[in-house]
Amino acid sequence: MAVPLFNLTSDLVVSRLCLGTMTFGEQNSLAQSFQLLDKAFHSRIRFRSGQKPRGEVRNISAVGFEPGKFPAIKLYLQQRQVSGPSGQMGWIRGGPGSLDAWNITEAIDGSLTRLQTDCIDLYQIHWPDRYVPMFGEIEYDPTRIFSSVSIEEQLSALQKAIGAGKIRYVGLSNETPYGLMKFLHAAERISIHVRIVSLQVLYDSQLYLKNCYNLLCRNFDSGLAECCSHERVCLLAYSPLAMGILSGKYLSLGGGPDDARMNLFRGRYAEGESRYSLSNSTIKKATDLYVKIAKKYGIHPVSLAIAFVLRHPLVASAVFGATKLWQLQEVLDGCEVELIPEIVTEINRVHSAFPNPCP
């Protein structure tokens, strides 16, 4: 099947599915990674999201995505991310840093080198360079504010990269309504004085956000959606399967396959495990009900979850992960699922009973 496309701008088109590659080289082999990329490419997925792998697997993944080794990667619409204060991710340029001009420039140049390409179409800032509630936190704590790089400095570095032809479009990730509007206002303010294409693009054309959105987490609709709708912002929805639990595989008596991510790497993804823990009875009950809706209508739970995300009018693409070909196929099938009114009604009934159990 051919994955539908979405026009982000008049000259930038992405597929409605975006293949996340964070687990490549760690959860599957180099050969398996190539098989997934082949199938994704032939299914017209031209959008790939990648994060620099951790420690001992860096070299495996670096080879895996080297265009010289795999020519088709050059044909992908590349998306790489600038990482700000990165918490535990000490393998990203030596550890937690900031989104100052040097780090942004180094990240862009490093991505261009690894990808062996001259230009990146869509470049995203992975985290805000300031304190924000993250990883399931729902309360803002003013005492945790720290000194951060100004949005103006970040925009200036990005505008230089666009002026140099290194990147074309800029997006944000894991942002809040406040952060989104601050970026938009800063871009508008600076562009009054400087004619920079990056700022024109960032404000006048499209901005792209990558935030969690799935059946168990619809917080996007509570604040960001209004901003996005009025400011012509598209959402790149990550974690559409809620770290895999919406597949239903972790509901089995054995707790799911041994090689499933939350079993294979138990304890590594502490934030995700706490957010999507089926030991929480509310999360487990909601997940079970969504899986039952899928089975009632003869739809695979993965395909139902993907179809739900893609039906949102502000979602441009769903960012998913897969380590096996059959998993990728279940996601692809979601593009062909039509959520009839009866299904949507049942989904919303569950949501009303268990609203956003995984914030």
The pLDDT value recorded for residue 215 is 98
Q: Which of 43-57, 141-155, 282-296, 339-353 has the lowest mean pLDDT?
A: 43-57
Q: Partners of 125 in the beta sheet?
A: 82, 172
Higher pLDDT among residues 81 and 256, named by residue: 256
The pLDDT value recorded for residue 74 is 36
| Section 108-119 average pLDDT | 87
Most confident range (mean pLDDT) of 97-101, 132-136, 200-204, 239-243 is 239-243
Q: Partners of 12 in the beta sheet?
A: 9
Contact 227, 177 (CB under 8 A): yes
Segments making up each domain of the chain, as ranges:
5-246+300-337
- Locate 298 and state its tokens: 């003869």
Task: List pLDDT tens digits, range 46-62.
Answer: 776 655 444 333 322 33
| Section 13-32 average pLDDT | 82
Most confident range (mean pLDDT) of 167-176, 192-201, 278-287 is 278-287
Residue 72 has pLDDT above 60, yes or no: no
Task: List pLDDT tens digits, range 244-257.
Answer: 999 999 998 778 78
- Taking only Cα atoms into account, the Rg of the chain, rounded to an integer number of angstroms, comes to 20
User: What's the chain's length in residues?
Assistant: 359
Residue 158 has pLDDT above 50, yes or no: yes
Residue 194 has pLDDT above 60, yes or no: no
The pLDDT value recorded for residue 11 is 74
- Locate 297 and state its tokens: 């209508």
Contact 74, 67 (CB under 8 A): yes
Residue 313 has pLDDT above 90, yes or no: yes
Higher pLDDT among residues 27 and 140, named by residue: 140
Q: Which of 66-75, 140-149, 346-355 has the lowest mean pLDDT?
A: 66-75
The pLDDT value recorded for residue 1 is 75
Per-chain mean pLDDT for the chain: 80
Distance CA 108, CA 164 (A): 11
The pLDDT value recorded for residue 31 is 83
Distance CA 125, CA 104 (A): 9
| Section 130-135 average pLDDT | 83
What proportion of the chain, given as a percentage, has pLDDT over 90? 36
DSSP string, 94-125: TSS----HHHHHHHHHHHHHHHT-S-EEEEEE
Q: Partners of 207 in the beta sheet?
A: 233
| Section 13-39 average pLDDT | 84
- Which class does domain 5-246+300-337 fall in? alpha beta
Residue 236: name the closest of 317, 169, 332, 312 by CA.
317
Rounded to whole angstroms, the maximal C-alpha distance in the chain is: 62
Q: Which of 24-38, 85-99, 298-312 has the lowest mean pLDDT?
A: 85-99
